[in-house]
Chain A
Amino acid sequence: MPFKSIKSLEERPDFFSPGHGLCPGCGAAQIARIVTKVAGKDTIIVTPTGCLEVSTTTYPATSWKVPYLHVAFENAAAAASGIKVAYDALIRKKKISKDANLVVLGGDGGTADIGLQSLSGALERGERITYICYDNEAYMNTGIQRSGATPYGAWTTTSPAGQKTLKKDLMGMAMAHRVKYAATASIAYVRDAANKVEKAISLGGPSFIHWIQPCTVGWRYDPKLTVKISKLAVKTGLWPLYEYYEGVTKLTVEVPKRLPVSEYLKLQGRFRQIMNKPEELAKIQSYADGLAGKFGLGPVAQ
Chain B
Amino acid sequence: MKKELPYWDEMEQGFVTRTLTEMINKTGTWRTFKPVIDHSRCTKCRWCIIYCPEPCIHMEASNSDEKVIIDYDFCKGCGICAEECPVKVIDMVEE
Contact = CB atoms under 8 A, between A and B. Distances in A.
Are A and B associated in one complex? yes
Interface of A: 6-7, 9-10, 14, 16-27, 29-30, 33-34, 56-63, 65, 187, 190, 216, 222-228
Contacts of B71: 18
Given A26-B53, A33-B53, A20 B79 contact: no
Contacts of A29: 53-54
Interface in B51-95: 51, 53-56, 59, 71, 73-74, 76-80, 82-84, 92
Q: Tell which of A21, A61, A65 has the most Cβ of chain B within 10 Å.
A: A61
Given A7-B46, A18-B56, A227-B84, 12 more contacts: A10-B59, A16-B55, A18-B71, A19-B24, A20-B25, A20-B27, A24-B76, A58-B21, A62-B20, A63-B21, A223-B78, A226-B53
Interface residues of B, number: 38
B17 interface: yes
A6 B47 contact: yes
Contacts of A62: 17-21
Contacts of B27: 18-21
Contacts of A19: 20-27, 54, 74
B45 interface: yes
Interface of B: 6, 15, 17-27, 30-31, 45-47, 49-51, 53-56, 59, 71, 73-74, 76-80, 82-84, 92
15 contacts: A6-B46, A6-B50, A14-B55, A17-B21, A18-B27, A18-B71, A20-B21, A25-B78, A33-B53, A34-B50, A60-B6, A63-B21, A224-B92, A225-B83, A227-B83
Which one of B31, B46, B47 has the highest number of Cβ atoms from chain A below 10 Å of its Cβ? B46
A30 B78 CA distance: 12
Given A25-B53, A62-B18, A224 B74 contact: no
A146 to B, nearest CB: 25
Contacts of A228: 83
Nearest to A62: B17
Contacts of A187: 51
A22 B53 contact: yes
Of B15, B20, B24, B47, which is in contact with the most chain A CB atoms at under 10 Å from its CB?
B20
Given A21-B27, A61-B23, A62-B19, A10 B80 contact: no
A69 B82 CA distance: 34
Given A24-B78, A227-B83, A228-B83, A61 B53 contact: no
Most buried by A among B49, B51, B59: B51
Nearest to B56: A18
Contact of B55 (A33, A57, A190): A33
A17 B20 contact: yes
Contact of B79 (A33, A34, A222): A222
A290 to B, nearest CB: 31
Nearest to B74: A18
Nearest to B84: A227
A34 B53 CA distance: 9
Given A19-B25, A59-B15, A228-B83, A24 B20 contact: no
A224 B51 contact: no
A6 B84 contact: no
